Structures are given as C-alpha cells and as structure tokens.
Structure 1
Amino acid sequence: MPVVRGKRIEVLYSASTIAARNLELAKEIAARDYRDLLVISVLKGSFIFSADLVRAMHDAGMEPDVEFIMLSTYGAGTEAGEVKILRDVDSDVSDRDILLVDDILESGRTLTFARDLMLERGARSVGVAVLLDKSMRRQADTPLQPDFVGFECPDHFVVGYGMDVGHAFRELPFVGIVAGDA
C-alpha cells in the first residue's frame, strides 16, 4: 500500500486500469453520432481524466474541441445545493453536441445544472462522461444518469487522478482511498 504525505493509500483503480478503461470509453464515445463535438471539462477534479480521455478520443479517430467550466455547489451560508458558475465556457454551444466530463457523479446536482445550462443555451445534445459513478448517492430529485462511466465507485471518499482532499493527492496516477496514517 503506497504511503503519500504520511498517509496509507489503498489503490482502488491503478493507473494501467484507468488508461485501459479510458481507451474503451473513447471508443464508446466515438461510436456515437456526435457532430461538432465540444468536450467540456468540469473543473477542478476532472482535469486529469479529461486530458487523458481527450487524448484517447484522438486515438479513436475523434477531433473534439475542448472547453472548461468551473462550478461549485454551496451548502452552508446560501441555499442548500445551489450551484454557482465560477468560470464559464468561452465557446458558443448552440447547435453543437456537448460532452460534459467530470471526475465523479454522486448526487447529480452539479452535472444536472451543467447539462440544463448547455441545453438552455441551445446545445443540440448534452452527454455526460464520468470516471466514477457513485450511483448509490444519486438523489431522487436529480435522476441524472451518465452516458459513459469509467467505473462504479464504492461508497468511500476517494483521492488521486485529479481528486483531492484539502488540495492534496490530486497528483496520484491512480484512484485510491485514504486508509489512515502511515
């Protein structure tokens, strides 16, 4: 079990397992009839997954444009579950196929907000690709289902491959669970 920053990290999905799954996902995405595809990475946690997935999409024969959006779901201090745009996309999404890419899907609030926003702005279609799906956490009022899923995630807090705790562990090339002090 690797030790990082004085913590034991249990590897859930290795770097090689993730890389193989990214290529499979890219092939699944390429099999869809997307036209004028714009991949929108939902920051911050998805930045590594998005980069690797877009490169795998290139290997699968695709040529998507890439954009970024940063969203935050607030709880304390404002209305519970309110989603705020911290950084918006620069591109016009009207009459384009959009693929939202995120690291993990839990409640579904943030990705539902992003999907609805792109549709309101005139997107032809909006698909969702996530590295991890915590389907047991999906809320009844947000029945969003992803179109492309890397892995079903057990009900644990995970780190690595872009995901953090207190801005730490994003650099890990794998997804893991903090198992405790070393």
Structure 2
Amino acid sequence: MSTDLAHIRQVMVEADCLYNEEEVEAAIEAVAGQINAELAERNPVVFCVMNGGLIFSGKLLTKLHFPLELSYLHATRYRNQTSGGELFWKAKPEVSFIDRHVLIIDDILDEGHTLSAIIEFCRHAGAAAVYTAVLVDKDHQRKASPDLKADYVGLSCEDRYVFGYGMDYKGYWRNAPGIYAVSGL
C-alpha cells in the first residue's frame, strides 16, 4: 500500500500550530534545568524510547551537564484483551538497571500504557529509582492509571492528534519544527 504524499502534505498545510519551534526549545531548556538540578549526582542511565523519543532525547541530552550512560529501547504494547499490558520488545535495554537511577525519555504521555509497562520493567529489573521525561503531556482523563504522571514535562496539550518533534502522523512529520495538531482531530 503506497502512502498518499499529497494527503500527508495537506495535513501539514491544514494543521494547527500548538507550539512553535522557539516555544518547544524553551520547554526543552526548562526540562534540562530541572533534570540537571535533580539527577546530576545520581549517575543515571538514560533511555530514549524509540522512535518518538529520538528528537526530544537528542535535543535534551546536549543540555544535561553531568556524566550519564545512554541507551535506547523500542517497545510496543499489544492492545488486544488477552495480552493487554504486555510489551513486545523490538530492542531491549542492554544496560544493567540494578541499583541505578533510570531516566526514560519519550515524546508524549498520552494514555501511558507503554510507558507504565516500561517503568514496571525497569523496577522489576532492579532500578533504584525510575524517572520519566516527556516533551508533551496530553490533557485528558484516559491515562492508564490516575497516578501516572511524568517527572519532567516540557509542555501540555489539548486532547488532539498531535505531531512534530518526534510525534508522527501516519509515520510522517516527526521532523516538523513545532508541535502541530491535525485539523479536525
């Protein structure tokens, strides 16, 4: 099945810009300041959640002014009823979590099922503490758990389909220079 690039381009033309590049960059700077203040002495291992967390991680990491170990993970959650909550690891972490402070960086906290499962995986693997940083926290009441909150949040957004800075629309526009909402969604 081929992708309709005309449609993909039209989505960008019609999209609503929720945050421009300058606003997103300022939010990343603020998140970095919080992390520098709180994790600099904790020797964290930092994981980028692929693919969405790639851009946020890349921009954030250069602003963290302390030694850290970096890795990535790529996991998806099956959404059928018989295996809900289980992760399918496309790339499992290869760094030991035992007695380590772990920082997970992702693009968005939407419902949070995958992020919750990753946090639980890290805790089960022996992490001393698990922290989460997201560029965007979507404002709605459908979180996997009412207690699920990211430790570090760049921006919040309304409950719309968003893309840019790592978030995608049908696999496209992760590279958009701002955070956009699909018109009508």
Q: Same fold (TM over 0.5)?
A: yes
How many residue pairs match? The answer is 175
Normalized per residue, the structure richer in strand is: 1
- Aligned to 1:162, what secondary structure does the other structure show? coil
What's the CA shift for 1:4? 6.7
The residue number in structure 2 matching 1:40 is: 47
Does the CA-based 8 Å contact 1:108-1:142 persist in structure 2? no
- Alignment equivalent of 2:109, drawn from 76, 83, 105: 105
Percentage identity across paired residues of the two chains: 31
- Aligned to 1:31, what secondary structure does the other structure show? helix
What's the CA shift for 1:177? 1.1
* Distance in 2, Cα, partners of 1:62 & 1:14: 29
- Aligned to 1:126, what secondary structure does the other structure show? strand
- Alignment equivalent of 1:85, drawn from 85, 89, 92: 89
TM-aligned CA distance change 1:81 to 1:123, over 3 Å = closer
TM-aligned CA distance change 1:37 to 1:70, over 3 Å = same
Q: Does 2:155 match 1:151? A: yes
Does the CA-based 8 Å contact 1:105-1:135 persist in structure 2? no
- Alignment equivalent of 1:49, drawn from 52, 56, 62: 56
- Alignment equivalent of 1:16, drawn from 12, 22, 31: 22
Q: Deviations over 1:64-108 (max 9, x none)?
A: 221111111222485344332221111112121111111111222
- TM-score normalized with structure 2 length: 0.86
Runs of 5+ in structure 2 lacking a partner? 1-6
Extract structure 1 runs of 4+ deviating beyond 4 A: none
- Aligned to 1:44, what secondary structure does the other structure show? coil
- TM-align CA RMSD: 2.0
- TM-score normalized with structure 1 length: 0.87
TM-aligned CA distance change 1:78 to 1:168, over 3 Å = farther
Runs of 5+ in structure 1 lacking a partner? none
